[in-house]
Amino acid sequence: MKQRTRRHGDAQTQRGFFNYAVCTVRLPVPPSLRVFFFLLTLLALTLNFSAGAQTGKRSGAHSSIPRNNFSAADRNTVEKAIGTACAERIRDPLGSTPIDEMQARPSLSASNPDAVAGAKRADRLLPVTRKLVANAIVQLSKDYGLYDAPALQARVNTASARVQAVKRIRPNVDARDNASVLLRDPRAIEFGTIFLAGLKSDEAMVSVLGHELTHVASGQSDLLRPLFRAIARRAAGRINFPVSGQRAEELACDLVGLMATGQFINETPSWEPQPRRIARAVEHNCVDDDGSDEDHLSPRNTIRALFALDIDLARELLATNTQSSTQRRISLTARATAF
């Protein structure tokens, strides 16, 4: 339809030029008026051509720039963001324990002070995370073109509403470094006590809560399967690594958790550096033993895919990290000068 419109516009321009040319040649007018009419004709032609060119530019803008464009510079940004996030984990007193370290630790009792603190943190953050996850699911569906038709909207809205069913956190010693939900009765998120103890910050906890709530949103009826597949296709194209099957769902749940954490950071100002807070959303994946299984990407490939999918957040992490480093250097210089 757009091509036919452009051709129609071009034909109008050509017919307009012919009519103007005939009028200019055949009008018996004095030379001064001929100049006037000639300039008027030239102006009309210019405006007509400009309008056609602008129409063609608008129509071609969407087709000439792929929605999934991802450059070598973007890939470099992703790798730098991974390094920055994992380096920040080491410096951060509230940095998350990497998954491989959690797996190597002995079980923790439910009365362990760190596990108790983690459970309280999860309980406190669950209500706000439910809201953030519902909003993130709708936003992602819009971004991936899965919210256009009424039937799609109903599907996504139903999924988003399902997260409200989860009301509490249930610590479980045997679950160790895992978290899970029972989809047939999704009223609680079951957290291993090691996992509760290893997620030491609000940002890390929102990220994991967001992951589990997204499983609940999709449910046994797989309401969000089209969204999971769309996210997986984009991720696979950007990191040059296959993402399919259950891996697609796990990655999409991680992405919702990351988005929920980003919004949480925006809504809860803090004196802490912005890069530190962003890093907490992914740093439990900063492992040395980077293994994978049939259902999950490896932890570091998970970070890679997440930053590739949300390249703006990766840039924000790097930009604010550079800014913070510059500010610290200026502050140290000022102190040295003062003394």
What are the sequence ranges of the domains in the chain?
Answer: 2-64, 73-327
Q: What is the pTM (predicted TM-score) of this model?
A: 0.76
Residue 128 CB: number of other CB atoms within 10 A? 17
Place of tokens 């005939």: 22
**Residue 10 vs residue 117, higher pLDDT:** 117
The sign one gets for the Cα dihedral 168, 306, 228, 195 is negative
CA distances from 311 to 119, 262, 266, 288 (A): 32, 13, 17, 24
Task: Of 200, 48, 39, give the one whose Cα is nearest residue 113.
Answer: 200
Rg (CA), the chain: 28
Per-residue pLDDT tens over the stretch 153-192: 999 999 999 999 999 999 999 999 999 999 988 999 999 9
Per-residue pLDDT tens over the stretch 286-332: 999 999 889 999 999 999 999 999 999 999 999 865 444 434 333 33
Alpha-carbon gap, residue 200 to 26, rounded angstroms: 86
Q: What angle do CA 154, 160, 165 make, to 5 degrees?
A: 120
**Residue 16 vs residue 147, higher pLDDT:** 147
The sign one gets for the Cα dihedral 18, 21, 26, 29 is positive
Residue 44 has pLDDT above 90, yes or no: no
Sheet holding 179-181, edge to edge: 168-172, 188-192, 179-181
Q: Are 42 and 21 in contact (CB under 8 A)?
A: no
Strands 168-172 and 179-181: unpaired
Report the 3 state secondary structure along the chain: CHHHHHHHHHHHHHHHHHHHHHHHHHCCCCHHHHHHHHHHHHHHHHHHHHHHHHHHHHHHHHHHCCCCCCCHHHHHHHHHHHHHHHHHHHHCCCCCCCHHHHHHCCCCCCCCHHHHHHHHHHHHHHHHHHHHHHHHHHHHHHHCCCCCCHHHHHHHHHHHHHHHHCCEEEEECCCCCCEEECCCCCCEEEEEHHHHHHCCCHHHHHHHHHHHHHHHHHCCCCCCHHHHHHHHHHHHHHHCCCCCCHHHHHHHHHHHHHHHHHHHHHHCCCCCCHHHHHHCCCHHHCCCCCCCCCCCCCHHHHHHHHHHHCHHHHHHHHHHHHHHHHHHHHHHHHHHHHC
**Residue 26 vs residue 231, higher pLDDT:** 231
Residue 66 pLDDT: 36
Per-residue pLDDT tens over the stretch 275-285: 999 999 999 99
Residue 113 has pLDDT above 80, yes or no: yes
Per-residue pLDDT tens over the stretch 47-105: 443 444 333 333 233 323 334 688 999 999 999 999 999 999 999 999 999 999 999 99
Residue 42 pLDDT: 54
Q: In the chain, what percentage of residues exceed pLDDT 70?
A: 74
Residue 339 confidence class, pLDDT cut points 50, 70, 90: very low
Residue 30 pLDDT: 57
What fold does the segment set 73-327 form as a domain? Collagenase (Catalytic Domain) (3.40.390)
Residue 33 has pLDDT above 60, yes or no: no
